[in-house]
Homo-oligomer: A and B are copies of this chain.
Amino acid sequence: MTTLDETDLEILRLLVEDARRPYSDIAERVDRSAPTVSDRIDRLREIGVVRRFTVDLDRSTFTEGAEVLVELELEPAAGDRIAEGLAAVDAVEHVLTTADARLFAVATVRPERVRSMLANAIDLSRVESLRVHLLEDRVWSPHVGDADLALECDECGSTVTGGGHSLELDGRRYHFCCPVCRSRFEERYASLSESA
Contact = CB atoms under 8 A, between A and B. Distances in A.
Interface of A: 1-4, 12, 15-20, 47-58, 60-64, 69, 79, 83, 87-88, 90-100, 102, 104, 106, 108, 113, 116, 120, 133-146, 150, 152, 157, 159
Given A54-B54, A83-B139, A98-B134, 12 more contacts: A1-B63, A16-B57, A19-B19, A47-B61, A49-B61, A50-B56, A93-B142, A96-B138, A97-B135, A98-B136, A113-B152, A116-B157
A98 to B, nearest CB: 4
Contacts of A83: 137, 139
A89 to B, nearest CB: 8
Copies of the chain in the assembly: 2
* Nearest 7 interchain pairs by C-beta: A98-B133, A99-B134, A19-B53, A51-B56, A90-B150, A20-B53, A95-B139
